[in-house]
Amino acid sequence: MSKRQPKWLDNAVFYEIYPQSFNDTNADGIGDLQGIIEKLDYIKELGCNAIWINPCFDSPFNDAGYDVRDYKKVAPRYGTNEDLKRVFDEAHKRDMHVLLDLVPGHTSVEHPWFKESMKPEKNEYTDRFVWTDHVFMDTKGMNTLRAISDRDGCAVLNFFSSQPALNYGFYKQEEPWQQGMDDPGPEATRLAIQDVMRFWLKMGCDGFRVDMAAWCVKNDDENRTGNIYFWNKVGKFLDEEFPDAAMVSEWGNPDQSLQGGFHMDFQLMGQGTNYEDLFRCDEPYFSSRGKGNFKAYAERYNKSVAATEGKGLICIPSGNHDIDRLARRLKGNELKMAFAFLLSMPGAPFIYYGDEIGMNYVEGLISKEGGYQRTGSRTPMQWDDGLNDGFSTADPKDLYIKMDDAPDRPNVKAQMADPSSLWNEVRRLIKIRKENVALRSKAKVEFLETGYPLVLKRSCKEQAITVIINPTNEEKTVDVHGTIIYACGSAKLENGKCHVGAGTAVFIEN
């Protein structure tokens, strides 16, 4: 386990940028790094002080950049390595940190490493990927590429057919071709990925979000012992060379990931966390209908906290590039209630670009770069009411993904000008979070009520705050003493009771 926890995470609020959809400055219809630089002041004004940028490396883009062709080169459509260095430098001038998206589990079939591994003659890259011994063999249910070169064997895949799995070994070796985690091939692969990390960290990157972190070592046990072992090695490398660098894992089980080299783990839908119960089911907890279920989420969350106490941060995102937009199931004031929860919980919050204005999930789009059903969550950012909503000056037909054409679609300019907007509420919530130590990343949480309203208590040695969130259409009353420091909606404290109006969130310092 990593022995360090970067201090800057204590009060970090992240903003996730899908670069191709964020801000286009050269009128080619695709967002770029200069576009990110232009909007750093916007992100800072919102209150976020850290950024996660989805993959921006050279790629054939069969999977939106998660099929890397060159780990050390920025994709030309986004700019150059020098442009990415400027992103780091400009962010640091604003006291902001930047995470890049690391894809260690696989590359593109076009990566030079894979092309070399395809050769029948043994070379430096023969064992860089997972290959079987023979083309004509049972691959035990693994998806593979067969007969793609003169090398006799099948290449194991991680996700799409264009993404061959890098070789970090097998926790349980069941076939002669399956190498152990400490064998020369897997060790060489780990060192190669560490070299990629070193390259960007030396340039100014502050760490990485790690794609498919739980699936690097193959044939693992149910506790992911092999992957924990592997990431502890990587964590040791960071401890020694880059002690202020941070890593957040796509793992979904902090009980496991925070035992490894990670400082943060996401709680995401579909991974046994009950995250979907809150925002993305037929009756989300934060719907005003008041038919949702928070209890199962609280139980799972408490279990994770007990298993990971002091080892790292459990992070709850508003969404990301792989799941439905928050606004697909929640509307209007319901979004404010959801953000009151997201921004009052422990861990470092992550806001997916556009969620701060309630951007829609756009139905019925044709898949773009392997997005399929995810494409509806990847539409261009809506900055104003001008051409292409301010995202680009390109012809609309040339945009990376078509704009949302809903007549009531939100935009940043209008919401910044409206004191009652979601954008201004998110900004207020981030400000309150930063100003109160009990609302930051490491302060404890206790769920006092998990029905309606939701009542939780955040506390540390300096401060205690009770958070009450009532998304329903009915007023609720809660026994509590203290002083109101934040309210969205109607809340009144009298005689040891707080009367919490319909669709209201209130924070009370005790």
In sequence order, which ranges of 242-394 are alpha helices (DSSP H)? 254-257, 276-279, 295-308, 333-342
Residue 76 in domain: yes
With cut-offs at 50, 70 and 90, classify the pLDDT of residue 269.
low
Residue 226 CB neighbour total at 10 angstroms = 22
The tokens for 432 are 């309150």
- Euclidean distance between CA atoms 427 and 424, whole angstroms: 5
Of 399, 434, 469, the last residue of a domain is 434
Which tens digits make up the pLDDT trace of 70-119?
999 999 999 999 999 999 999 999 999 999 999 999 999 999 999 999 99
Residue 170 in domain: no
pLDDT confidence of residue 66: 98
Please say if the pLDDT value at position 2 is more than 70: no
- Euclidean distance between CA atoms 30 and 364, whole angstroms: 21
Per the CB < 8 A criterion, the answer to whether 430 and 486 are in contact is no
Which tens digits make up the pLDDT trace of 174-214?
999 999 999 999 999 999 999 999 999 999 999 999 999 99
The amino acid sitting at 470 is N
The residue whose two tokens read 């998990």 is: 450
- In eight-state DSSP terms, residue 370 is T
Residue 171 in domain: no
Residue 385 in domain: yes
The residue whose two tokens read 């690391």 is: 102
CATH code (residue 458): 2.60.40.1180
Let me know whether 387 and 243 are in one domain.
Answer: yes
- Euclidean distance between CA atoms 300 and 177, whole angstroms: 39
Per the CB < 8 A criterion, the answer to whether 365 and 373 are in contact is no
225: helix, coil or strand? helix
Let me know whether 365 and 289 are in one domain.
Answer: yes
- Euclidean distance between CA atoms 210 and 249, whole angstroms: 5
Report the chain's C-alpha Rg in angstroms: 23
CA angle 40, 41, 45 (to 5 degrees): 120
Whole-number Cα distances in Å, 464 to 440, 453, 456: 11, 19, 11
With cut-offs at 50, 70 and 90, classify the pLDDT of residue 3.
low
Let me know whether 414 and 495 are in one domain.
Answer: no
CATH code (residue 399): 3.20.20.80
Residue 227 in domain: yes
Let me know whether 41 and 79 are in one domain.
Answer: yes
Of 371, 404, 434, the last residue of a domain is 434
Let me know whether 372 and 480 are in one domain.
Answer: no
Residue 371 in domain: yes
DSSP 478-500: EE--SEEEEEES-EEEETTEEEE
Residue 417 in domain: yes
* Structural domains counted in the chain: 3
In sequence order, which ranges of 384-501 are alpha helices (DSSP H)? 412-417, 422-435
Let me know whether 249 and 374 are in one domain.
Answer: yes
Let me know whether 86 and 45 are in one domain.
Answer: yes
CATH code (residue 158): 3.90.400.10
In sequence order, which ranges of 94-147 are alpha helices (DSSP H)? 112-117
Q: If 0-12 CB within 10 Å is exposed, 13-18 middle and 19+ buried, where does residue 2 land? A: buried
Per the CB < 8 A criterion, the answer to whether 144 and 163 are in contact is no
Of 412, 434, 456, the last residue of a domain is 434
- The distance from CA 72 to its chain's CA centroid, rounded to whole angstroms, is 22
Let me know whether 84 and 33 are in one domain.
Answer: yes
Segment among 129-138, 183-192, 385-394 with least mean pLDDT: 129-138
Q: Residue 34 is part of which domain span?
A: 7-105+184-434
Let me know whether 384 and 494 are in one domain.
Answer: no
Segment among 17-26, 131-140, 280-289, 388-397 with least mean pLDDT: 131-140
Let me know whether 310 and 412 are in one domain.
Answer: yes
Let me know whether 411 and 495 are in one domain.
Answer: no
Residue 372 CB neighbour total at 10 angstroms = 11
Per the CB < 8 A criterion, the answer to whether 417 and 439 are in contact is no
Secondary-structure percent of the chain, ordered helix, strand, coil, rounded to 5: 30, 20, 50
- The distance from CA 328 to its chain's CA centroid, rounded to whole angstroms, is 18
Residue 172 in domain: no
Let me know whether 449 and 496 are in one domain.
Answer: yes
DSSP 265-285: EE--TTTTS-THHHHSSSS-T
